[in-house]
Homo-oligomer: A and B are copies of this chain.
Amino acid sequence: MSSFSHPDFGAATFAGASDARFVPAPADGVLPEDFFSTTNLPTYVRIAGEWRMPREPRMDSALVLDADGSLWIREGRRVRKGDRVAVGHKEDGSDGIYVHAQAFLGATADGEFKFMTSEVSREKPIDYSLMARILIDERDRGGYPVWVTGPALVHSRARADMTWFIKNRFVGALLAGNAVAVHDIEASIFGTTLGMTGSGEATSGGHGLHMRAINRVREAGSIERAVEQGIVTDGIMHACVTHGVPYVLCGSIRDDGPLPGVHSDSMAAQDAMKRHTVKATMAILVATALHAIATGNMLPAFVTEADGSLRELSTICVDSSEFVVSKLKDRGTHQAFGVVTNAQDFMHILRLYVERELDARRMLTPRSVAAVSAR
């Protein structure tokens, strides 16, 4: 994992920099004409001669200086009339706003002739061992790995593996859509997903089973109550509820039902997601273009440690095709590391490597592990 230094604002480059300029928003949800549009990279704003980093960094938003002097990055729709919004287009600091792009996009162009330089490819090896170590380290340091998953995870046997990760405290929060919960609960109640059995066969009358599953939970009133009442007895949602792992179910126009608890309003869903992305220290995006890109939009490319130092926010994006990862990068989530494979296989091998690494660590440091499991 890469760490990064803050820029040296004493350097000559920053000598002529002025303070950033703030202009009041003309109306609720409307930004001043020349508002500065943010990125997901470390950003520094010069206020009264001092370079400060805004809170809740994310891309495609505005810099807002609150009345109490605190500096935020805030979505345009949440800006209120009169809020002081930073303006300017320059990212080089001269107008008081500096985007520390070098840190992450650092030139690797050495002009040498090389093979295998494409970023995302099914032909590249996948370092499960490294991913397992990062994930365990995140857990053990009290990090907050955000998992974002699509329904392919539930269709296949990866459901058991996802449940394992939840139960073993590798999941800070789960962000998903209605379908993930629907198929997971269908699997718990009927043993099928979209009417398909665990071995991939369509069942007679199976097309209605997900609707029956939804209806049962709607009858119970909430997923939590469906768990309590013994309607849902295993799986991903059950594990979240019984292990106190927070989840966000975001609505979409594809939703059947929806299940109680789904944020059918997209903006409310974004707000709910962001309550977790601002805390994220790692992101694992599996088999979902919509949710992966939505999360990428609101995720900074970096983590600010308690001591103020910066490191890259490890972002793993898993999909069957190179396309989704490339799309994620094209939309600005440059730090994403792409794994081109089947979601079921990814989950299975990652779990295997995590289990092996845990075994290895257990043998090496019996005491520290005991301490961890005693928590």
Return chain B residues, CB-CB under 8 Å to A18: none
A258 to B339, CA, bound (A): 31
CA distance A211 to B256 in the complex (A): 31
The residue among A76, A214, A342 with the most chain B CB atoms within 10 A of its own CB is A342
Instruction: Provide the A312-345 mask, 1 if CB < 8 A to any CB of B, else 0.
Output: 0000000011110011011110000001111111
- Interface: A70 (CB within 8 A): no
CB distance from A64 to the nearest CB of B (A): 14
Please, how many angstroms separate the alpha-carbon atoms of A352 and B128 in the complex? Answer: 15
Interface size class of A (residues with CB under 8 A): 35 or more
A219 with B27: in contact, given A156-B123, A330-B118, A342-B126 (CB under 8 Å)? yes
Contact call B116/A105, Cβ cutoff below 8 A:
no
Contacts of A329 in B (CB 8 A): 117-118
Contact mask for chain A residues 185-199; partner B; CB cutoff 8 A; 1 contact, 0 none? 000000000111011
Give A77's nearest chain B residue, CB to CB.
B257
Chain B residues whose CB sits within 8 angstroms of the CB of A199 once the complex forms: 115, 125, 127, 130
Known: A37-B212, A342-B342. 17 other contacts (CB 8 A): A30-B218, A31-B215, A39-B207, A76-B214, A76-B257, A102-B111, A107-B107, A114-B204, A117-B330, A119-B326, A125-B156, A254-B290, A264-B266, A290-B290, A341-B341, A341-B344, A345-B346
| Interface contact A156-B126, CB-CB below 8 Å | yes
Q: What separation, in Å, do the CA atoms of A198 and B124 have in the docked complex?
A: 9
| Assembly stoichiometry (copies) | 4
A41 within 8 A of B: yes
Contacts of A208 in B (CB 8 A): 36-37, 60, 89
A125 and B157 contact, CB distance less than 8 A = yes
Contact mask A344-360 → B, CB, 8 Å, 1/0?
Answer: 11101100100000000
Binding-face segment, A47-55, A133-141, A245-253, A365-373: A245-253
On whether the beta carbons of A258 and B124 are closer than 8 Å, the reply is no
Q: Which residues of B contact A332 (CB under 8 A)?
A: 113, 115, 207
CB distance from A285 to the nearest CB of B (A): 13
Which chain B positions have C-beta within 8 A of A2? none
Cβ contact of A322, chosen from B59, B251, B322, cutoff 8 A: B322
Decide: A115 near B198, CB < 8 A? Known: A27-B219, A344-B126. no
Q: Is the CB of A261 closer than 8 A to any CB of chain B?
A: no
Interface core residue of A59, A112, A273, A289 (most chain B CB under 10 Å) = A112
- B294 in contact with A29 (CB, 8 Å): no
A143 within 8 A of B: no
Residues of A170-187 at the interface with B, using a CB-CB cut-off of 8 Å, are: none
Report the minimum CB–CB distance from A86 to chain B (whole Å).
Answer: 12
Our pick among B39, B113, B250, B264 for the contact of A265 (Cβ within 8 Å) is B264
By a CB distance below 8 angstroms, the chain B residues around A264 are 265-267
For the complex, is A71 an interface residue (Cβ under 8 Å from B)?
no
Q: Does A222 have its Cβ within 8 Å of any Cβ on chain B?
A: no
For the complex, is A6 an interface residue (Cβ under 8 Å from B)? no
Task: Closest B residue to A292 by CB, please name it.
Answer: B254
- A122 and B342 contact, CB distance less than 8 A: yes
Are B115 and A111 neighbours in the complex by a CB distance under 8 Å?
no
Q: Nearest Cβ distance between residue A45 and chain B, in whole angstroms?
A: 16
Task: Report chain B residues within 8 Å CB of A157.
Answer: 125-126
Q: Is the CB of A207 within 8 A of B115?
A: yes
**How far is the CB of A254 from the nearest CB of chain B, in Å?**
4
